[in-house]
Each structure stands twice: as structure tokens, then as C-alpha cells.
Structure 1
């Protein structure tokens, strides 16, 4: 049977700052991110299976991405924990803000790498992560393709 790609789109609001950057993005700011998740696999061919004809139930894919990405990053402020931003992060956390400390510079490029690792670990057997597209603004995005990695 043929391999089929399916895509589910997500959106979330996240703030961040790029420590050491030489432009405006060194300041704390936010984005309305759009994440497109594409997986590839063969549709279930067992006509007795409740999900007959599906590569993966869109609801199952949604659950994975919501738990791993959207629920974690939505309305959070992301800082690289290996920078002096940890002081700001602590102050914000003490004021009951949602702060996320990561091991990387929170650029779209690095976030999409992180997201790919998290999603791949949760996909069922026979389903492969094909690509991710993380759109930071209307005109700027980072993409990850399994074939490149």
C-alpha cells in the first residue's frame, strides 16, 4: 500500500528573548506561532479496525502535540537556562509567570529541533515524523525534514 502524509496544524503564543543577540530580539517579546506537523505512514488496511483507512487518527496526533508542545509552550516565556536570563526567569516565576528554561537558544530553528525530538518519541509504530514547519511570523519560519536529518 502507498505511503500517505497527513498534516495537522497547531497554534500557540510564546514569549522569548535571545541572549547575546545583536538585534531587537535580545529583548523579551512574543510570537503567535503556527506549527504544522506532517507524519507519514500507510493507512490501516484492516477493514475491521476502528481506524480503518487512517494513517493515524488526527485526534491521536493532536493529543501527542498538545501534550508535548502546545500545553508546555503556550503562554510561556522561554529562556536559555545557560545564560544570565535565568535571573529574569526566576523573578518572573516568583511573580507566578509561566517560564520555561531550555538547553538551547530559543530560536525557531532550535525550537523545531526540540519539537521534532519530542514528537518522534511519541509516535506509534509504523508512523514516522516527516516534517515540521514552525512559523514565527507571517513571513518567517523554520522547517525540519526527516530526510535532512
Structure 2
């Protein structure tokens, strides 16, 4: 059987701060992220089935990723748990969209975080092939399954 790669693109707004960074990004700031998720699988071969010929219906892939990954990240703040996050927890009653993570929220670490999340939510018949995260229009980080086996 032939394996086919299918890619879906998403966008979300998120802010972060890089603890102990030696530049402006040590301050809370935001990005308009673009996320490309590529999965790999075999097209369904069931004549008469409405999904015949598809690896996955794009609308199903969109719903799964949007509901479980994009929605929680969109318009949120992500900071390292080693920073002064106690203040953020206090503000949590007013601002509920925040993620306190155990890593520096760089593009590189975010793409690893996203890949790990995706592996847990993708339908079983699909494998995650790659994740590309644009932090700006001309800067991105990539994760490839083939590099991480």
C-alpha cells in the first residue's frame, strides 16, 4: 500500500516570555503563530464509502487539532515554571488562559511540546510525520518523526 502525507495549517495568537534571555524576548510579548501539521497514512480503499480515497478527511483533522490543541493555546500566555509564575497564578482568577510549563517556551521547545500533544490526539490509523511552527513570517522551527526515532 502507498503511504501519503497530508498537511493541515492552523493559526493562533499566543504570548510568552523567555526567562533569563539576554534580549527583548525576556519581556512578555506575543506572536501570530502559523502551525503546519503533516500526518502520514494509507488512503481508505472502500468503494462507496464517503471517505474513499482519503487518508483522513481534512475537516476531521481540523476539528481534532483545533479542539484539543489550538483552542487551549489561542490567546494564552506561556511561561516557564522556573519564572515568577506565582504572580500569574494569582492573576489566574482574572486571566484564565495561561500555561505554566517545565521548559523555556522557545519556538524549538514549542514544536516539541506540540508534537508530543499531537501524538496523543491523532486518530490511531495516522502517524505524525512533521510539525512546522512559524513564530514570524520568516522564522520557524520544525520537528520530523524521522529525526526522532
Same fold (TM > 0.5): yes
Query: How far, CA to CA, are the matches of 2:87 and 2:126 in structure 1?
Result: 40
Counterparts of residues 95-134 of structure 1 (less than 5 Å): 95-134=94-133
Query: How far, CA to CA, are the matches of 1:77 and 1:9 in structure 2?
Result: 21
Give 4+ residue runs of structure 1 displaced > 3 Å after superposition.
Answer: none
Query: How far, CA to CA, are the matches of 1:122 and 1:91 in structure 2?
Result: 31
Does the 8 A contact of 1:5 with 1:39 survive in 2? yes
How far does residue 64 in structure 1 lie from its aligned partner after superposition? 1.8
Query: How far, CA to CA, are the matches of 1:121 and 1:95 in structure 2?
Result: 30
Does the 8 A contact of 2:12 with 2:74 survive in 1? yes
Q: Secondary structure at the match of 1:30?
A: strand
How far does residue 48 in structure 1 lie from its aligned partner after superposition? 3.3
Query: How far, CA to CA, are the matches of 1:62 and 1:12 in structure 2?
Result: 13
- Counterpart of 2:92 in structure 1 is 93
Counterparts of residues 1-149 of structure 1 (less than 5 Å): 1-84=1-84, 86-149=85-148
TM-score by length of 2: 0.92
Unpaired runs of 5+ in structure 2? none
TM-score by length of 1: 0.92
Query: How far, CA to CA, are the matches of 1:123 and 1:47 in structure 2?
Result: 24
* More off after superposition, 30-39 vs 57-66: 57-66
* More off after superposition, 95-104 vs 65-74: 95-104
1:26-74 CA distance string (max 9 Å, x none)? 0000000000000011100111333111001111111221122210110
How far does residue 9 in structure 1 lie from its aligned partner after superposition? 0.3
Query: How far, CA to CA, are the matches of 2:129 and 2:86 in structure 1?
Result: 38
RMSD between superposed Cα atoms in Å: 1.4
Query: How far, CA to CA, are the matches of 1:6 and 1:15 in structure 2?
Result: 29
Does the 8 A contact of 2:6 with 2:38 survive in 1? yes
